[in-house]
Structure 1
Amino acid sequence: MAAPNPSSFSAPQRVLHWLTAALVFFNLLFPDGMNAWNRSMKRTGAATADQVASANIHAYVGMAILLLVVLRLLLRSVQGVPVAPPEEPPAFTRAAKIAAGALYLLLIAIPLTGIAAYYFGYEVAGDFHAEALKIVLWVVLAAHVLGALAHQFYWKTNVLRRMTVG
């Protein structure tokens, strides 16, 4: 059974979107606790209680992001998503779908690589997590925001509205 194409995102979809966004930006902008823990572990093989607590906050936020993304994907499969507005050129519609897929993939891969590094000691996963995936996430997020702004101010569609107030 195919998911419906509603005119707007549902209230739970919107709440999950903005909560996920807030947590993603929190972890992107404030990774200091995890960085301090990681430096200490590499230097001395031990970390202070404060460093562990700060690293745990980063890890727990990452796990919350993973949970929220799984919930978002479940809701998306059940409730569907609005179709692209007719004002959007087909090439941008395809690009938006690719970017959305990349964003979901990143929001699953980044917490999983973080878990692999922090809880299971896979240093390569941690390097990939903190270096390559983080950079790609910033690029995809920038494209996502620019796309929303293009809809709002260039094509003058309701795309931003349907993810804010419905």
Structure 2
Amino acid sequence: MATTASLSFSLPQRILHWLTAGLVFFNLLLPDGMNAWNRSMKQTGAASAEQVTSANIHAYAGIAILVLVAVRLMLRHVQGVPAAPAAEPAIFRSVAKISEWTLYLLLLVMPLTGAAAYYLGYEVAGDLHADVLKAVLWAVVGLHVLGALAHQFYWKTNVLRRMTVG
């Protein structure tokens, strides 16, 4: 993995971060189209055109998340990332590293389990996707946001700045 002395993430890394975040929140907050499609398929074996369209939008956003995260990981490997701020206690650096990689893993596994359910009909994958992984993702995203806020307001580091304006 490349290392960098940079104090912020590159512009492409920042753009990919925020595009990914937007799509993740879109799919977490607005899964109704996929839920309606799923209910209809279970109850009647068919779905309306509107339900299929809504489900497809959810699925396409998930596929976009998968692609964006794969590109982010490649950029991370090539360009590296800024070092953790010195003001952050070692235990929190460890928690940050674990939650960061857990988040990457979830952002890869969520679209894959969703696709396995939607496109291949694996109901177990859909249950895992919509119930277990979704709850874990919410928790990890919450931890990620809390960590960023702790850096900004408690440790007064540049963590938010390096992922926003650079």
TM interval, short-chain normalised:
over 0.9
1:97 aligns with 97
Structure 1: distance between partners of 2:82 and 2:95: 16
What is the aligned length? 166
1:35 aligns with 35
Residue 11 of structure 1, CA deviation:
0.3
Helix, strand or coil: the match of 1:85?
A: coil
Structure 2: distance between partners of 1:60 and 1:159: 31
Structure 2: distance between partners of 1:86 and 1:142: 23
Structure 2: distance between partners of 1:25 and 1:57: 14
**Paired residue type of 1:24:** V
Correspondence 1:104-123 to 2 at 5 A: 104-123=104-123
Q: Stretches of 4+ moved more than 6 A in 1?
A: none
Helix, strand or coil: the match of 2:81?
A: coil
Residue 2 of structure 1, CA deviation:
3.6
In the TM superposition, what whole-angstrom CA distance separates every residue of 1:6-47 from its partner, at most 9, and x where no partner exists?
211000000000000000000000000000000000000000
Does the CA-based 8 Å contact 2:2-2:79 persist in structure 1?
A: no
**So what's the TM-score if we normalise by structure 2?**
0.98
**Paired residue type of 2:28:** L
1:132 aligns with 132
Structure 2: distance between partners of 1:158 and 1:28: 28
1:21 aligns with 21
Helix, strand or coil: the match of 1:83?
A: coil
Does the CA-based 8 Å contact 2:9-2:81 persist in structure 1?
A: yes
2:157 aligns with 157
In the TM superposition, what whole-angstrom CA distance separates every residue of 1:41-94 from its partner, at most 9, and x where no partner exists?
000000001100000000000000000000000000000001111100000001
Helix, strand or coil: the match of 1:154?
A: helix
RMSD: 0.8
Unaligned runs of 5+ in 2: none
Structure 2: distance between partners of 1:137 and 1:87: 27
2:49 aligns with 49
